Chains A and B, each alone.
Chain A
Amino acid sequence: DAGVIQSPRHEVTEMGQEVTLRCKPISGHNSLFWYRQTMMRGLELLIYFNNNVPIDDSGMPEDRFSAKMPNASFSTLKIQPSEPRDSAVYFCASSWAMGSLKEQYFGPGTRLTVT
């Protein structure tokens, strides 16, 4: 069974460009989470969805960030315009229970570098 799939695995872009990160959760999971990890701040929750509905987006840093989940098998995280301080590893995770009380399965991450 395939795990959480993320693309691209690496992204290098220039400041001001739009960046779109993609995630395919594990089939059957009903919760999806987007995280950002940096050395300074650790792993931070950006937003999570339950049954394709955004539940909590309080972790989204600012209006430049947006996330969608049009169906149970696909989600995107978009940054427009990107800035150097957005450089980080972005993880998508999924689980089959609401509220994160069950194990979350993480994708391999997208390493984003904004120059």
Chain B
Amino acid sequence: RKEVEQDPGPFNVPEGATVAFNCTYSNSASQSFFWYRQDCRKEPKLLMSVYSSGNEDGRFTAQLNRASQYISLLIRDSKLSDSATYLCVVDQAGTALIFGKGTTLSVSS
């Protein structure tokens, strides 16, 4: 079983749409969770951390379900500039980070 699994997409949505990405992880001892964003031919950059109580940053909302070992990212009112690959990231029981392969989002006008 892969440690971090994501639907690769691509997700093709119009501007203004709401889109949700899901991610599952295999290590129940994982303690830290993140979403990173990677633009084409660029390096990954932290988008937001994911907290147990759920957290919001502007148009972005992250949720964590420890019982189901499931993480989600919701993007509201999509912008053209949101087009990128979104990487689900989970720590390996407090040590190294494990990156999912990413979900590609394409927002069109």
Contact = CB atoms under 8 A, between A and B. Distances in A.
Interface in A79-113: 91, 99-101, 103-104, 106-109
A111 B92 CA distance: 27
Nearest to B2: A42
A107 B95 contact: no
Interface residues of A, number: 19
Given A48-B96, A101-B31, A108 B101 contact: no
Interface stretch (B10-18, B38-46, B63-71, B74-82): B38-46
A7 B109 CA distance: 37
A100 B97 contact: yes
B62 interface: no
Main secondary structure of the interface of A (DSSP, over half): strand
A106 B99 CA distance: 13
Interface string B7-37: 0000000000000000000000001101000
A100 B96 contact: yes
Contacts of B42: 108
Nearest to B95: A99
A100 B95 CA distance: 6
B87 interface: yes
Contacts of B97: 33, 45, 100, 104
Interface of A: 33, 35, 42-45, 48, 55-56, 91, 99-101, 103-104, 106-109
Q: Which 9 A-B pairs have the closest CB atoms?
A: A42-B101, A106-B43, A43-B99, A100-B97, A103-B46, A101-B32, A45-B96, A99-B95, A99-B94
